[in-house]
Every structure is written in structure tokens, then in C-alpha cells.
Chain A
Amino acid sequence: ELKVEQNPLFLSMQEGKNYTIYCNYSTTSDRLYWYRQDPGKSLESLFVLLSNGAVKQEGRLMASLDTKARLSTLHITAAVHDLSATYFCAVDMGHQFYFGTGTSLTVIP
């Protein structure tokens, strides 16, 4: 079974700072997703990465995929309080989806 590891599990950062969340997975896949979940809410799709070297950006978030390293990163630039949430990566293996444990991000004013 594919394993998906995210780190860190918890991240507390000051507004204005940059940080990166890492998502490692154990088996080759070229499809990876990033989601955001606010407390008590559902999941919101952030990025869909479909090939090696894919990079997507939306606002202060940028996601990349390195299929050879089996690694995806979610980079946060100049964090703001509104980015506080839990972020999940998920890997698609033959239409089955394997989720990471999530990274709980708190942005401190």
C-alpha cells in the first residue's frame, strides 16, 4: 500500500514569513493533489499536479511535484492569518487516493 508522509504535522509561523510543507510518498505516481481544510469544514481543492516538474501557484501558495524524488512541496510566501488551516496532500494511484496525515498551520499575527 502506498504511504504518504507529510511534514511537519504542526506548523506555527509568523505573518510575513515563508515556509514549506513537504509531502513524500512511497510509490511512483504522477498525480498529486493539495487540499485545504478549515476547522469543522469540508475540503477545498487547492492544486492538481499531473506531471513531473509541475508547478502551480495561487496567491501566496505554490505547489510543485518531483515524481522522481516522490516529493511534492507546498510553499507559503509571506504568510497571512487567513492561511491558517490544515493542508493535506493526496496521491492518485490508479484512481485510488492516498492522503497524507495533514499539516496544521497556524499563522500568528
Chain B
Amino acid sequence: DSGVTQTPKHLITATGQRVTLRCSPRSGDLSVYWYQQSLDQGLQFLIQYYNGEERAKGNILERFSAQQFPDLHSELNLSSLELGDSALYFCASSGGGGGQETQYFGPGTRLLVL
């Protein structure tokens, strides 16, 4: 158990809908990262937050947005969903602001868009 929690574990929805994925980092970790894993695109970094502020942005679509709240949990919002958004979404947390620390991954949310 990494100490990172994600909800829900599974999500099935329809095209055009909007969903929210939630991540609670390990106690004391300030950084949260979001990743997408799919068969066709592999593992992709989406976005990083550090202590409530956006730190780095990767291949995150404009239809997707994220935020980190004062209690350090984070949410990833996916809107106008398309079939191709079906994937595993992981969040990870680490202790500091940079990328040099070990990242601890949550169990993931499996999203299926029908």
C-alpha cells in the first residue's frame, strides 16, 4: 500500500459526459501528479501540482482540468468524454516540489467511455 488513495476505482460513462477523479496523496506529500495509461498511447504525464499550484503540464487535453485543494487532495476533471479517453488514470505523490523524489502511485481509476 503506497498510501495514495484514488476514487473511484472503476468508472463507466458515456461519450459527451463529464467525470471527476479524486486523489489523496500520502500524508505530508506536497506534490501530486496525474498520469494516463492506455494501450495505444502508453503512459503519459498529464499534470503536476505542488502545494496547490500548478507546477508542470504535460499532454493534458483542453477538455481535461485539474486542481489541488488546500488539504492537498487533487481532482482531475474530464469533460466531453470521447471513446479514446478510456484508460487507466493514476495519480502519484511525492514529498517536495521537484521531480527528484520518489513518486508513490495510487491504485488508479479505470475509466471506460461507451
- A interface: dominant SS: strand
- Asked if A95 and B44 make an inter-chain contact with CB atoms under 8 angstroms apart, the answer reads no
Number of B residues with CB within 8 Å of any CB on chain A: 25
In the complex, how many angstroms separate the beta carbon of B7 from the nearest chain A beta carbon? Answer: 14
Q: Does residue A45 face the partner (Cβ distance < 8 Å to B)?
A: yes
- Asked if A96 and B45 make an inter-chain contact with CB atoms under 8 angstroms apart, the answer reads yes
In the complex, A88 Cα to B100 Cα: how many Å? Answer: 16
- Asked if B2 and A42 make an inter-chain contact with CB atoms under 8 angstroms apart, the answer reads yes
Number of A residues with CB within 8 Å of any CB on chain B: 20
In the complex, how many angstroms separate the beta carbon of A15 from the nearest chain B beta carbon? Answer: 28
Which residues of chain B from 98 to 114 have a CB within 8 Å of any chain A CB?
Answer: 98-108
With a cutoff of 8 Å between Cβ atoms, the chain A residues found around residue B102 in the complex are: 45, 48
List chain B positions with a Cβ less than 8 A from chain A: 2, 33, 35, 42-45, 48, 55-58, 90, 92, 98-108
List chain A positions with a Cβ less than 8 A from chain B: 31, 33, 41-45, 48, 50, 88, 90, 92, 94-99, 101-102
